[in-house]
Structure 1
Amino acid sequence: MHIVQIYKDYPPVVGGIEQHVRVLAEGLAQRGQQVTVLTTHAGRATREEQRNGVRVLRAGRLAYVASTPLSLQLLRLARSLRADLVHLHMPFPPGDLAALALPGAPALVVTYHSDIVRQRRLGQFYRPLQQLTLRRAHCIIATSAAYVRSSPVLRRYAARTHIVPLSVDVERFAHATGGTALRRRYLERGEGCLVLAVGVLRYYKGLPILIDAMTQLDATLLIVGGGPEEQRLRDLVQALGLARRVHFAGRVSDDELPAYYAAADLFVLPSHLRAEAFGIVQLEAMAAGLPVISTELGTGTSEVNQHGVTGFVVPPGDPLLLARAMRVLLENPDLRRHMGRAAQARARREYTHARMIERVLAVYAQAAQRAHGDVNQREQTR
């Protein structure tokens, strides 16, 4: 089966969805499927490459507007492909057009990763195209049941929606080395507790709330990642007098990343907006055996992290409540270890790459069956 995956970016671009698309595409290729990824890149000319058994077509961009790359080449490339199944990752409005442009009426699967949160006015113009795509889709995937219930768009299609959570390479994080050296680097005299936050530094990550919470605690915070909010966060750290206890590691390589989890005592995902639809970094922390503190957004964040079992779930946007939950874990090492073990066991049980790919393949089988039925129905009505 020839499967075309469509999303705006693809590794080496950093991001949770980008990483998920890569893991899925390469996993499908390893299982004998023919896989093409149709994506964009910052240049003007189309680039083609083979990455771990996957054909990657990177269309040149005309512009980048409201976090969306615009590319006529994307549509031209789509028209040139013959596929058995198209898997579109939303939201990516030009991807809807590309999925429509593929010839031959292939089966259509859509993963609905997130509502449009920040660009709501522009989202109104996208809505008719989005609804057309969702109506055409033979199957829809959501990464959590919570998101289906809370999304005003997605719950209309709940009957055709399948839950396939994101995934993590558990063993890569469970057996990491190098954590001790990192603790010595970031903790004065190697003593105290190290709180970790990881991710692209974007507006919805809630990191100002976490930094504010650190004023209530005797601990050190390490922020791993770069992004558009970095300078604002650094300024806030200086303004609050936290420069000795809040450190920025910047972007780190995939090879180095597990060591940062191994160095930490506690992981925090303080996101305060629904643009945080799942929080794949939670899975990395859980795989590393860390307890997690996340926020209740009505999304997958609090479905992955089970309150009172693998960590704590707190209301978003409240630094005092966040600090209180962190203090409970920082002051109780036995509880940290207990919840960390529970988190790692949950990651191994529910969130492996192999399990995610098996679930997706089951959805593909249903979509292909429905697409075949559509073809038969059209032929009978001629």
Structure 2
Amino acid sequence: MTELAEPATRDETFPLARTCPFAPPPAYEKLREAGPVQRVALPDGSEAWAITRLEEVRQMLTDPRFSSDRFNPGFPILAKGGRPQRRRFGASLINMDPPEHGAARREVVGEFTVKRMKALQPRIQQIVDEHIDAILAGPKPADLVSALSLPVPSLVICEQLGVPYADHDFFQSRSSTLLNREVTQEVRVQAVEEMQDFLDKLVAAKEADPTDDLLGRQILKQREEHGDVDHDSLVSLAFLLLLAGHETTANMISLGTVALLENPDQLEIIKKDPGKTLDAVEELLRYFTIAEFATSRVATEDVEIGGQLIREGEGVLGLSYSGNRDEAAFENPDELDIERGARHHVAFGFGPHQCLGQNLARMELQIVFDTLFRRIPDLKLAAPVDQLPFKHDSSIFGLYCLPVTW
């Protein structure tokens, strides 16, 4: 392999701010134009490679020479406060590499099949209807985040995992802290420990009396197949699924609602033909790409991508949001077009670490958008978009509140 000349380090320090809630940072386009692999600065003063185009992002995410281990010294850290500390309950799926990752994922992947998700559909529909009933019976304006976007996926993941929804204020506040890139390392560590303590006790209770939910079924499955329960792995799994299972979908509900209300021609398409709502979901996922840095990695060997040598130990940012706005992959990528039929986006990642709960997220979003705009057809924003509190400080983009009326 021939080492190629390295581009000059960019002036911008990642993560870059979204100056418009409907568009990536303006620098992304310049980075793509400069080439598929560019050198960028990180908050701690170190540097990493940014992969800017869809083809190369997908290539990197399927290459086993890139590691997901966030505790590797070369892994790019974007939050303030330095490198995360190892959790006392062991590695999370999101941090694992082969062969451990494949084995751990196979243990639980059956809980997220399309068939199992369809079995949840009636209950999800009931949850959505109940919350829209409450919105219609309540005062105007309503905050869609607290009234619908956050409680619906929170209830769904709680019921799926077997977590008491009565504790939602506790885990939602800790999740918000963990995702806030501006908090100190001490505050973040405290939030992690409090969540771990909570889930440690929950899993222990289920080991004593397994319930018919994901955690209870995993306990019975492990006992049958392995003769014992890996308590620590279940705590780690519950931590990941509880955090990711409500934050991502909640923010997509809010952002998707704003985008559809701001693009009435697109909204009209799904009002006339609900069969196209799933296409709208795919396009909204591509359009916002709210967890764009979940595709960060570190090279474990020298690798050449896009004509650039990435050396062993160097960090890589797979810029999924840049890839999802790549002109070479999507025609008129900055337009919201729910009929484009482009399912090759990387909003859920790609390769072995592609989002485990993507089937659940798609179904929740489809049910929410269909039901919301059918039951409240004259829904509208109660504040201008430029006055809405977007989550510019969070690792998952979204909204803190969304005032709506009708």
The two structures have a TM-score, normalised by structure 1, of 0.27
User: Which structure's residues are more often strand, by fraction?
Assistant: 1
The two structures have a TM-score, normalised by structure 2, of 0.25
